[in-house]
Amino acid sequence: MANKDNPSGFVPYIGLGSKGKVELVYLPLLATNTIIGKGDPLTLAAGGANRAAASAALCGIAAEAKAASCGDATIAVWADPNQLFVAQTDDGTGDTTAATAVRKNVNFVAGNAVNGLSIAEIDEDTGTTTATLPMKLIRLSDEVGNAYGEFNRMVVKINNHQFGSHTGTAGVDT
């Protein structure tokens, strides 16, 4: 059966080996922020956090939705550099739909939130060893009915994390 196309941003992964606890931090929000959906990748710049553009270093994933230009506010963020997330791949055109993509680094595709939820996805055309790419593929998510192929769901870790100790590690080309 084919994987369902249902982009839902980046969702904290709590599974085997996890501590069962997801920590939040509250960061200042850029006064002229773009619309942010729960599950959107975020970046931190002078003035505060905002939805990240593809290839940006990340400070975490939005744990709540915010309207555009909501002003002087904070945003709840899953910001632990060791937190794992689950997200869907965007299509079947790249090699990120195969087991050989595990341990590679990837970019993401952002989009405007729908009903407060992110529609960000893993950009599977970008699987490579480049250390500065924002996400690292850890493995296929263990959800029922999820299989390698188009729109599969992968467990990822933020690779180029603004709260980490470096700009990311090279992916492994299998």
Position 124 in a domain = yes
Position 39 in a domain = yes
DSSP 54: T
Residue 21 pLDDT > 90: no
Question: Do residues 60 and 104 share a domain?
Answer: no
Residue 107 structure tokens:
């970019």
Q: How far is CA 25 from the centre of its chain?
A: 17
Question: Do residues 88 and 142 share a domain?
Answer: yes
Whether the CB-CB separation of 30 and 107 falls below 8 Å is answered with no
Question: Do residues 139 and 90 share a domain?
Answer: yes
Question: Do residues 107 and 153 share a domain?
Answer: yes
Residue 18 pLDDT > 60: no
**If you search the block for the tokens 């959800």, which residue do you land on?**
143
Q: Which of 167, 158, 159 minimizes the C-alpha distance to 62?
A: 158
User: What is the domain count for the chain?
Assistant: 2
What's the rounded mean pLDDT across residues 96-116?
82
3-state secondary structure of 99: helix
Instruction: Provide the residue range defining the domain that includes 62.
Output: 25-78
Q: At residue 120, what are phi and psi to the nearest 5 degrees?
A: -65, 145
Question: Do residues 91 and 64 share a domain?
Answer: no
- Give pLDDT, residue 169: 83
- Give pLDDT, residue 164: 86
At 134-165, the pLDDT tens digits run 999 999 999 888 888 889 899 999 999 999 87
